[in-house]
Amino acid sequence: MSDLLVRLYNLPCMKEHDGLQVRKPLPHQSPAVLSFIEDNFSSGWKAEAAAAFGSVPPTIVIAVDKASGRLAGFCCWDCTAKGFLGPIGVHDEFRGKSVGRAIVLSALYSMREAGYGYAIVGDAGPVEFFQKICDARVIEGSTPGIY
Ligand SMILES: CC(C)(COP(=O)(O)OP(=O)(O)OC[C@H]1O[C@@H](n2cnc3c(N)ncnc32)[C@H](O)[C@@H]1OP(=O)(O)O)[C@@H](O)C(=O)NCCC(=O)NCCS
């Protein structure tokens, strides 16, 4: 798998998602968020996301389903390396409902506000997803990357 480059000066407009609250969690919420990541994704992603809670505010956004109050997804940045976006995950019950788009764009706008010009999606799995939502480009020669 390759890394992807996202131009933060050329992001699409972000529309509010009717059914979701997208926000940065507070530090005291880290146990619940990290358990969600471990239970639904992997212990490796939990370890990467733990690094997000080392910053104030944390370098992670979460999506909370307004109707049920459940955690639907998360997106981190500056965890594996500075300027890297990820890990990213949407609970399988909430996939296909624009949760991924909402959290990734929110995280990318936060990176732009923090002063980055570009974001790198490390070792991207669903390349077409990132191409679709933020016009990401494959970085030649990025296989194997830093992982
Ligand atoms: C990839 C993932 C985050 C997408 O989340 P999602 O909430 O289902 O995505 P969205 O509903 O916001 O999809 C936005 C658009 O991308 C498309 N899309 C979603 N997943 C896709 C995929 N795997 N490949 C290609 N396109 C995809 C959708 O069809 C949608 O297109 P549309 O606007 O034309 O309808 C989710 O499937 C997931 O958590 N996967 C497992 C973890 C993972 O692979 N994370 C990324 C690691 S780099």
Distance (angstroms) between ligand 1 centre and the Cα of 118 equals 21
Distance (angstroms) between ligand 1 centre and the Cα of 64 equals 17
Q: Of 132, 134, 139, 142, which is best to mutate to test ligand 1, by the most ligand atoms within 8 angstroms of its C-beta?
A: 132
Residue 143's pLDDT band (cuts 50, 70, 90): very high
What backbone torsions phi and psi does residue 56 show, to the nearest 5 degrees? -125, 115
For the stretch 19-30, pLDDT in tens is: 999 999 999 999
Sheet holding 60-65, edge to edge: 20-23, 60-65, 71-77, 84-90, 118-121, 4-7, 137-138
Q: How many residues does the chain have?
A: 147
Work out the mean pLDDT of the chain and round it to a whole number: 97
**Is-contact 113 126, C-beta < 8 A?**
no
Report pLDDT for 125. 93
Structure tokens given for 60: 């992670």
Which of 15-19, 29-33, 42-46, 131-135 shows the lowest mean pLDDT across its residues?
15-19
Sort strands 4-7 and 20-23 into parallel, antiparallel or unpaired: unpaired
Q: Which atom of ligand 1 is nearest to the CA of 128?
A: 25
Report pLDDT for 67. 97
For the stretch 40-67, pLDDT in tens is: 999 999 999 999 999 999 999 999 999 9
Q: Is the pTM of this model over 0.85?
A: yes
**Is-contact 12 106, C-beta < 8 A?**
no
**Is-contact 67 40, C-beta < 8 A?**
no
Q: Which atom of ligand 1 is nearest to the CA of 132?
A: 16
Which class is 4-138 in CATH?
A: alpha beta
For the stretch 117-126, pLDDT in tens is: 999 999 999 9
Question: Cβ contacts of residue 80 below 8 Å, gap of 6+?
Answer: 48, 51, 86, 122, 146, 147
Residues 71, 69: Cα–Cα separation, whole Å: 7
For the stretch 76-93, pLDDT in tens is: 999 999 999 999 999 999
Report pLDDT for 147. 87
